[in-house]
Every structure is written in structure tokens, then in C-alpha cells.
Amino acid sequence: MIKNLKLLTVLFLALTIQSCSNNDDDDYDMVPKTIFEQVATSSNYSSLAYALQKTGLYTAFDGSNANDVYTLFAPNNMAFSRFLMESGFSNIDDVPVSVLKKVLLNHAIEGEVTYRDFETGYYTSAAQYINGDSMRNLSMHIEQVNMRVTLNGESRITQGNVYATNGVIHAVDRVVPIPTIVTFAIADKGLTNLLIALTRPDLTADFASILSTNLGTDPAPFTVFAPTDQAFIDLLVELGVQSLNDIDEPTLKSTLTYHVIGGTNAYSTDLSDNLELNTLGGPITANITGGATLTDGNNRVSNIVAVDIQADNGVIHVIDKVILPN
């Protein structure tokens, strides 16, 4: 009886050890190490470790500066392979260093944020928007629903809270995409109606493609005033229609153009009283006294309720009323 009990105990321990080792995302050493040491000693994250070394970014995560504390979203080797394939690269060495550096920095936010601390909203990544003398950190949209965390609408945390001496690591199943204006329209569930409007099949302008234009290609960068879902609901009531599909194509197309400025990345600090803004549809007026607002040609006033959501090809400011053409 005692021998059988001992045998069962040994078998149980063996199965337990085997089951733990089969999870690739559990390949981190539990001994206290820096973020880079954790990554470099984890076999399933060798691509990430190599990329950090190739770009020299490992120094930000190796603890050499005591003030550097980060939250790192770590793509595994499979995620890196998928990124390379989708981007048309054969291997990491084929990726231009400047591109690779931006991709990697887009996986880090300053400070330590544990898994349970994530709330739905915008965070600031370590990657930067750079256009001439203009330089700003990119935003990152994080959605937390029932303890399921998604980054920029695509990358999901598969293992959280791998602690390091200089921060924390969260393993992710995909490389976090560098965001465009459209990335945030897709990821932010508060902008769902805007996405529906932008992608309506009968529109003669392909707004989704236009607002995905890479920085450096005309008409990027963009400044976009993005109406909330409630703003679109209020618009339907104002127009006396049931859905966005009931708005005729010329009116919807014209309306959307009034929410986009081409060729500029205008921050909230660039706004002033009685400032005329030349949108793709026509002029509107900004004011900041008593709170930032936009006034269209019909004297309808929209409040700017969120500002400076930075994408790689422009910036978004959220408004609470849809701007209408004259």
C-alpha cells in the first residue's frame, strides 16, 4: 500500500513538471532578473532578445540605468515570425534598424503596470511619431474586458506579470501594430459608429485607405476630429433617420470630410480662440476659452472631450457632436 502510494506520488510530480514545461509562454526564469535578462534566457523569446541586441535597445531594459522602469509586452518567436512574413521580410536582419527600433519601442510603456491594473483607454508607448521637428510619443489603445487584455485591437496578453528587477513583462501573441488613425478607429469601441461610417460600402471615397496613408505620403499626416458613438446617435435624431445607412451618400461623404485636416498633425496646444481650421470639407472654427470647442458653418458647437491620441500618421481629438457641412 505504502509502495503504491509512493509510486502514485512520483507519477503525479512527473506529470505536473511535464505539464508546466509544455507551456511555451511560461518559459521565464523565476529568479529575479532584469527585463532583458528574463527575455534573453527564455528560449521562446530568442527573436525578441536578438532584435533588442541588434538595435541596441537592450540597454534600456538591462538595468544599467536605475531610473529605467518599464512594462514590456513581449512577442514570442511565433509572433515575430508572423510579423516578418506579413511585412515581407525573410528574417530580422532584413528589417531596417529604424523600423525595427520603432516596432520594439511600441512594445514598451514607462513605469510598471501589472495585469490587473490595465483599464480600457489610451496609454503612451515608448515609440515616437517624428515628422521634421515635431516629435511625440505614440499612443497605445489597451482594452480590458473580463480580464482579457488586447493591445491596439490585435495583440493579446497571454501571460501577465513576469516580474523583473526593473519592471514587468507581459507575453503577447502578436507583435503590437504601429497604429494608424484607422487602427484606433478599429480598436476603440467608443468609435464604432465612426468606423461604420468610414467603411460604408457605397462611399465614393475610400476613407479607410486614405486615413491609413503612411507618414511621408500625401495627404498624411492627418488631424482627425472623431465623433463618439453617442454623437452619431444624436445625429440620427437630429436628421430624423433610423441609421447611418439612411443618410444619402453625398451628405455622409461631405460630413466625414469636415472631420479631417490633411497635411498637419495639430495638437490641442495648437488650438486658440477664433482659429479657422481648413478641413478637407471646408472651414470650421476652434475656440478654447471655457473648454475646447469646434463650430461648424451651421453654428453647431462640438466639445472636444479627449485630445492628442497620437497615431503614426496623425492625431485624433474626440468630439461629442458630429460636424455638418453648410
CA angle 98/103/106 to nearest 5° reads 125
Q: How far apart are CA 180 and CA 46, in angstroms?
A: 28
Q: Which residues are within 8 A (CB) of 220 and not within 5 positions of it... i.e. 6 or more apart?
A: 213, 214, 262, 263, 313, 314
- Domains 2-179 and 183-319 fall in the same CATH topology: yes
Residue range 305-325, pLDDT digits in tens: 999 999 999 999 999 999 999
Residue 178's pLDDT is 98
pLDDT at position 33 over 50 = yes
The half-sphere exposure of 103 on its side-chain side, counting CA atoms within 13 A, is 23
Query: How many other CB atoms are found less than 10 A from the CB of residue 246?
Result: 11
Q: Across the strands, what pairs with 163?
A: 168
Read out DSSP for 89-102? -SSGGGS-HHHHHH
What residue spans define the domains of the chain? 2-179, 183-319
281 DSSP assignment: S
pLDDT at position 22 over 70 = no
pLDDT at position 41 over 60 = yes
Residue 133's pLDDT is 83
Q: How far apart are CA 67 and CA 236, in angstroms?
A: 51
pLDDT at position 146 over 90 = yes
Residue range 270-310, pLDDT digits in tens: 999 999 999 999 999 999 999 999 999 999 999 999 999 99
Residue 142's pLDDT is 98
Residue range 227-241, pLDDT digits in tens: 999 999 999 999 999
Residue 18's pLDDT is 36
pTM above 0.75, yes or no: yes
pLDDT at position 40 over 60 = yes
Q: Which CATH class is domain 2-179?
A: mainly beta
Could you list the beta-strand ranges (E) of 86-208.
108-110, 121-131, 134-145, 148-151, 155-164, 167-172
Residue range 197-217, pLDDT digits in tens: 999 999 999 999 999 999 999
CA angle 215/308/131 to nearest 5° reads 30
Mean of pLDDT values over 231-260: 97
CATH number for the region 183-319 comes to 2.30.180.10
- Size of the chain, expressed as the number of residues it contains: 326
Residue range 74-87, pLDDT digits in tens: 999 999 999 999 99
Residue 17's pLDDT is 34
Sheet with 134-145: list strands edge to edge.
108-110, 70-75, 167-172, 155-164, 148-151, 134-145, 121-131
Q: Quote the mean pLDDT of the chain.
A: 92
Q: How far apart are CA 284 and CA 299, in angstroms?
A: 10
> Phi and psi dihedrals of 259, rounded to 5?
-105, 5
Is the previous residue joined to 221 through a cis bond, with omega within 30 degrees of 0?
yes
pLDDT at position 6 over 70 = no
